[in-house]
Structure 1
Amino acid sequence: MTQTAPLAITMGDPSGIGPEIVAKTLAKGAESVVVFGSSVVMEDVVRRLDLGLKVKRIADPQEARTEPRSIEVIEATQIIAPPPLGSISAISGQASFDAVVAAIAAAKTGKVSGIVTAPINKEAMASAGIRYPGHTEILAEYGGAKRVAMMLANDDIRTVLVTIHTALRKAIDEADFDAQMSAIRLANEGGKALGIAAPRVAVAGLNPHAGEGGLFGDEEIRIIGPAIEAARAEGIDASGPWPGDTVYMQARKGRFDVVVAQYHDQGLIPVKYLGLEKGVNITLGLTFVRTSPDHGTAFDIAGRGIADTGSLETALAYARRLVAAQIKTKEGVV
């Protein structure tokens, strides 16, 4: 099998729980992982939590040796002292952005096999003059992807979003035929990447009761339905539009493999309701693997040492699974 490069894990916003969950996860013995961020920040969290880990700076992921009880850090940003915990900070916003951009560059050149990102804070980035709604948009631009989609997944359901970080009023306009087709195709590809040979893709409606035959809106008739038919003509097992309030229940029962949601909260509420500790965010449409925990920076508990590592560990497990699938595909193993 092809030799696998280490995974990159970005430290996230250093004023939040990102560095903490990264350090605590690596303390459990996660192998072949390189942290992109700041050694100053990682040394501080290791000391505060008394983890007994050695923080080692390396210049290139290829130098990684995955030594026991150590954290290997690529210095992706310049921080002189740890920023304040639990509050918006331009320094932290810049640092979290720098780490993601550096990890993307490494992934594009094959120096890392994929990226797992700890949580960032949009307000902190904005305070540093960085205007991106979130990770997905940064990954799309710096990763050179024409179209990306978020897949949120846990043990019970998987969902892909037609529109992501945008106002609900704009999301309705942006959920056009092309956006529907892109999301359905990426949902199908994402299901296959997770080992499902012929994913059953359910497409949720935009309106209550999926429009009720046009009584509550006609987007299902004019846009979503035709996109589903076009996807089926391409050989994708797509169906719908299904009412958004019941389609996830059907997916949990095993009727569907992936649900395409029309807007952010329609897709994320069901996944997060089932437990943040088991949820993972996968970016589809990139040339490299990217996953992340399904939670935010949690400023309210930053520095208290009580942040749960479950979602980050799940994100790491999914990243390894996706990288392994990529290697099999490249080697012609189906």
Structure 2
Amino acid sequence: MHPSLPLALTRGDPSGIGIEIALKAWLATHADDQPAAFFLVADRALCQAVAQALGLAVPFETCQPADATRVFSRALPLVALDAATVGRPGHPDIADALGTIASMQRCCELVAAGEASAVVTNPISKEILHRVGYPHPGQTEFMGAMAERLYGIKARAVMLLWSPTLSVVPATIHVPVACVPGLVTQDLIVETVRVVARDFTDRFGVARPRIAVTGLNPHAGEGGDMGREEIETITPALNRLLAEGFAVTGPHPADTLFHAAAREQYDVVVTMYHDQALIPIKTLAFDSAVNVTLGLPFVRTSPDHGTAFDIAGKGVADPSSLIAALQLASRLARSDALARASCPAA
């Protein structure tokens, strides 16, 4: 993947804040000396309507991906999406679901075709997409399916929430809490840590990442008094990983793992379920955290927040997390390009 290629940005749910923060991100970054150039896969009429409603002076230019980097300095490049919008800001409509999926799919296809360097996704409403038969719990799982379809590989898609302050990975993601104990297996933990370690080395440049692993139960099970998963599942998994040479520690009580002193002892935390990971990072780095899908043959990032229907159309959405996602995607795509150049047969 050539590092000068633009990033492909999805539109997200058109009734959320995705288009607004995309326009604000262009305004904030297009004049930089070394911008993370991107194009937006969206309907031009939608973008113009958002810009006009919010008073954002953003010029648009519909173009091919190959022209996006050149266009970026003077206008926000749009790759046309034939999907008129029905929903209004804050009021999503099921009629827009297929267009949202089409934007995601098109971005993945353009990266696979070598026309973009990475995929950056705006927030979606999973509830809306599920009503038209979207089979995935979230965008992470969708990206894994696209990797299989476009690259012919079975990808183990792993969700990383990254920030300069803290990096966390939930081993189980969008599942009910009641299902977590049955899903946490030795193989799940081992496979997740392997993916995390590989991508932290290959893409983030950490030679031997220090990976802390949480317990499942309060106080990491308190020696079996509060649950036996730590004894019967997590510790055996960590022993397997130690035997393979990984720098893993745990299982740690999750409630003492995220204060400042503890964070100095690791590069990333693998947790057992969604909220163990997302509560601390959204508390410590809400505006700067980035969602990264590890384990893919391409780079995918996303802002670490949702559609924010409650503030959509009000002009107050903060683009900081999207800007961070664009910048990180550009950085990781460069790492990918360098790795591929050094290992052309890979």
Q: Pick the TM interval, shorter chain.
A: over 0.9
Residue 92 of structure 1: aligned partner: 96
How far apart are residue 251 of structure 1 and its match?
6.8
Residue 182 of structure 1: aligned partner: 191
Residue 300 of structure 2: aligned partner: 290
Letter paired with 2:330: R
Correspondence 1:174-213 to 2 at 5 A? 174-192=183-201, 193-213=203-223
Letter paired with 1:284: L
- Point out which structure has higher relative CO (alpha carbons under 8 A, 6+ apart): 2
Q: Give the distance between the partners of 2:193 and 2:328, measured in 1 at CA.
A: 21
Q: Give the distance between the partners of 1:314 and 1:265, measured in 2 at CA.
A: 22
C-alpha offsets along residues 131-176 of structure 1, whole Å, 9 cap, x if unaligned?
A: 3221111111112143111000112111111101011111221111
- Is residue 15–residue 86 contact of structure 1 (8 Å, CA) maintained in 2? yes
C-alpha offsets along residues 80-126 of structure 1, whole Å, 9 cap, x if unaligned?
A: x5631102311232222111111111122221110111111111212
The yes-or-no answer on 1:273 pairing with 2:277 is no
Residue 25 of structure 2: aligned partner: 25
The yes-or-no answer on 1:142 pairing with 2:146 is yes
The yes-or-no answer on 1:248 pairing with 2:258 is yes
Q: Give the distance between the partners of 2:185 and 2:261, measured in 1 at CA.
A: 24
CA 1:313–1:251 in 2, change beyond 3 Å: closer, same or farther? farther
C-alpha offsets along residues 287-331 of structure 1, whole Å, 9 cap, x if unaligned?
A: 000111110000011001110011111111111111121122223
Query: Across the two proteins, how many residue pairs are aligned to each other?
Result: 331
Structure 2 regions of 5+ residues with no counterpart? 149-153
Residue 57 of structure 1: aligned partner: 62
Residue 125 of structure 2: aligned partner: 121
How far apart are residue 3 of structure 1 and its match?
5.0
CA 1:212–1:3 in 2, change beyond 3 Å: closer, same or farther? closer
Letter paired with 1:42: C
Q: Give the distance between the partners of 2:326 and 2:247, measured in 1 at CA.
A: 29
How far apart are residue 257 of structure 1 and its match?
0.6
Q: Give the distance between the partners of 1:2 and 1:90, measured in 2 at CA.
A: 37
SS of residue matched to 1:278 = coil
Q: Give the distance between the partners of 1:198 and 1:331, measured in 2 at CA.
A: 22
C-alpha offsets along residues 11-61 of structure 1, whole Å, 9 cap, x if unaligned?
A: 111000000000111122154211112222112112222322222222x41
Q: Give the distance between the partners of 1:290 and 1:133, measured in 2 at CA.
A: 17
- Is residue 78–residue 95 contact of structure 1 (8 Å, CA) maintained in 2? yes
Letter paired with 1:156: T
The yes-or-no answer on 1:173 pairing with 2:178 is no
Q: Give the distance between the partners of 1:327 and 1:252, measured in 2 at CA.
A: 34
Moved over 6 A (4+): none
CA 1:277–1:250 in 2, change beyond 3 Å: closer, same or farther? closer
Letter paired with 1:148: A
SS of residue matched to 2:234 = helix
Residue 74 of structure 1: aligned partner: 79
SS of residue matched to 2:259 = helix
C-alpha offsets along residues 200-256 of structure 1, whole Å, 9 cap, x if unaligned?
A: 000100111111111111111111111111111222101111111112226754101
Residue 151 of structure 2: aligned partner: none
CA 1:190–1:246 in 2, change beyond 3 Å: closer, same or farther? farther
- Is residue 37–residue 72 contact of structure 2 (8 Å, CA) maintained in 1? no
Q: Give the distance between the partners of 1:52 and 1:36, measured in 2 at CA.
A: 19
The yes-or-no answer on 1:9 pairing with 2:9 is yes
Letter paired with 1:325: S
Letter paired with 2:17: I
- Is residue 165–residue 285 contact of structure 2 (8 Å, CA) maintained in 1? no
- Is residue 283–residue 291 contact of structure 1 (8 Å, CA) maintained in 2? yes
Identity %, equivalent residues: 37
SS of residue matched to 2:310 = helix
Structure 1 regions of 5+ residues with no counterpart? none
- Is residue 291–residue 316 contact of structure 1 (8 Å, CA) maintained in 2? yes
**Aligned CA-pair RMSD:** 1.8
Deviates more, 1:317-326 or 1:125-134: 125-134
- Is residue 159–residue 260 contact of structure 1 (8 Å, CA) maintained in 2? yes
CA 1:251–1:173 in 2, change beyond 3 Å: closer, same or farther? farther
- Is residue 256–residue 262 contact of structure 2 (8 Å, CA) maintained in 1? no
Residue 47 of structure 1: aligned partner: 52
- Is residue 3–residue 333 contact of structure 2 (8 Å, CA) maintained in 1? no
- Is residue 16–residue 297 contact of structure 1 (8 Å, CA) maintained in 2? yes
